[in-house]
Structure 1
Amino acid sequence: MSKIMIWVGQFDSEADFEKYMDQSAFRQWWKEYDEDNKKMRCQFCKELGVMDYDEDFLIMKFTSDGLTGLLNLIPANTKKINQSMADKNIAMANAVICYNCREDISPKKAENTTTMTYLGTFEFELSPEGVQGSNVGLKYIIWIGTTDKNQEEFMEYFNQDEYLKELRAYEDGQTKKRPNPEHRCQFCKDLNIKFYYPEFLRIHFFDSITPPAKMITNLINDPQIPEKWIDDDCIENNITKANCAFCYIPNGFRDKKKDQKIYILKEENKGLLGIPKKHVDALSDYNGLIYLSSYKLE
Structure 2
Amino acid sequence: MPSMHVWVGYFESEEEFEKFVDQEKYLEAWAIYDNEPPTGGEEDAEPSPALRCEFCKEVELDTYDEDYIELQYYGKSVDADRIVDAIVADREELGRLWNRHRLDRVNALIAYEDKDLSTESASKSIRTTYLGKVNRNTPNHEIGGAVVHYLWVGESETLSIHSSEAVRKEIKKLNIDEDAIVNIHFYYSNKKEKLDEMIIMQVEDFNVAESMILKVDELQVSPTANAILDLIVYEPFKIDGSAIGSALGMAYIGKFDAE
Q: TM-score range by the shorter chain?
A: 0.5 to 0.7
Q: Which position in structure 2 is the counterpart of 1:105?
A: 117
Query: How many angstroms does 1:32 deviate by?
Result: 2.5
Q: Which position in structure 2 is the counterpart of 1:4?
A: 4
Provide the rounded CA distance (Å) in 1 between the counterparts of 2:189 and 2:199: 21
Provide the rounded CA distance (Å) in 2 between the counterparts of 1:33 and 1:191: 33
Give the structure with higher Rg (CA). 1
TM score, norm. by length of structure 1: 0.47
From the two aligned structures, give the one with the greater strand fraction: 2
**Structure 2 residue 32 is matched with structure 1 residue 32:** yes
Amino acid at match of 1:81: L
Query: How many angstroms does 1:184 deviate by?
Result: 5.3
Q: Which position in structure 1 is the counterpart of 2:231?
A: 259
Alpha carbons of 1:71 and 1:279: their partners in 2 closer, same or farther (altered >3 Å)?
Answer: closer
Q: Which position in structure 1 is the counterpart of 2:249?
A: none
**Structure 2 residue 207 is matched with structure 1 residue 190:** yes
Q: Which position in structure 2 is the counterpart of 1:83?
A: 96
Alpha carbons of 1:74 and 1:188: their partners in 2 closer, same or farther (altered >3 Å)?
Answer: closer
Amino acid at match of 2:74: T
Alpha carbons of 1:127 and 1:260: their partners in 2 closer, same or farther (altered >3 Å)?
Answer: closer
Q: Which position in structure 2 is the counterpart of 1:59?
A: 70
Alpha carbons of 1:23 and 1:91: their partners in 2 closer, same or farther (altered >3 Å)?
Answer: same
Alpha carbons of 1:261 and 1:67: their partners in 2 closer, same or farther (altered >3 Å)?
Answer: closer
Amino acid at match of 1:48: V
Alpha carbons of 1:121 and 1:67: their partners in 2 closer, same or farther (altered >3 Å)?
Answer: same
Q: Which position in structure 1 is the counterpart of 2:105?
A: 92
C-alpha RMSD of matched pairs (Å): 4.0
Instruction: For residues 57-103 of structure 1, give each alpha carbon's deviation from its aligned partner in whole angstroms, at most 9, with x where no partner exists.
Output: 1111111342324454342122221210221232221111111133x
Amino acid at match of 1:84: L
Provide the rounded CA distance (Å) in 2 between the counterparts of 1:60 and 1:97: 5
TM score, norm. by length of structure 2: 0.53
Query: Is the 8 Å Cα contact of residues 30 and 36 (structure 1) preserved in structure 2?
Result: yes
Instruction: For residues 192-248 of structure 1, give each alpha carbon's deviation from its aligned partner in whole angstroms, at most 9, with x where no partner exists.
Output: 18xxxxxxxxxxxxxxxxxxxxxxxxxxxxxxxxxxxxxxxxxxxxxxxxxxxxxxx
Query: Is the 8 Å Cα contact of residues 73 and 108 (structure 2) preserved in structure 1?
Result: yes
Query: Is the 8 Å Cα contact of residues 200 and 209 (structure 2) preserved in structure 1?
Result: no
Provide the rounded CA distance (Å) in 1 between the counterparts of 2:10 and 2:230: 25
Instruction: For residues 80-131 of structure 1, give each alpha carbon's deviation from its aligned partner in whole angstroms, at most 9, with x where no partner exists.
Output: 21210221232221111111133x4233221111111121111223658xxx
**Structure 2 residue 250 is matched with structure 1 residue 278:** no
Alpha carbons of 1:58 and 1:258: their partners in 2 closer, same or farther (altered >3 Å)?
Answer: farther
Q: Which position in structure 1 is the counterpart of 2:17?
A: 17
Instruction: For residues 11-68 of structure 1, give each alpha carbon's deviation from its aligned partner in whole angstroms, at most 9, with x where no partner exists.
Output: 1111111110001111122122352311111000110122211111111111134232
Question: Please, which moves more after superposition, 111-120 or 16-25?
Answer: 111-120
Amino acid at match of 1:29: A
Amino acid at match of 1:58: I
User: How many residue pairs align between the two structures?
Assistant: 172
**Identical-pair percentage:** 25
Provide the rounded CA distance (Å) in 1 between the counterparts of 2:51 and 2:144: 37
**Gap runs ≥5 in structure 2:** 35-45, 149-186, 211-228, 236-251
| Equivalences for residues 1-298 of structure 1 within 5 A | 1-34=1-34, 35-68=46-79, 69-102=82-115, 104-125=116-137, 140-141=146-147, 188-192=205-209, 259-260=231-232, 278-280=254-256, 291=259
Query: Is the 8 Å Cα contact of residues 14 and 62 (structure 1) preserved in structure 2?
Result: yes
**Gap runs ≥5 in structure 1:** 129-134, 143-169, 194-256, 264-275, 283-290, 292-298
Amino acid at match of 1:53: Y
Query: Is the 8 Å Cα contact of residues 84 and 119 (structure 1) preserved in structure 2?
Result: yes
Amino acid at match of 1:189: F
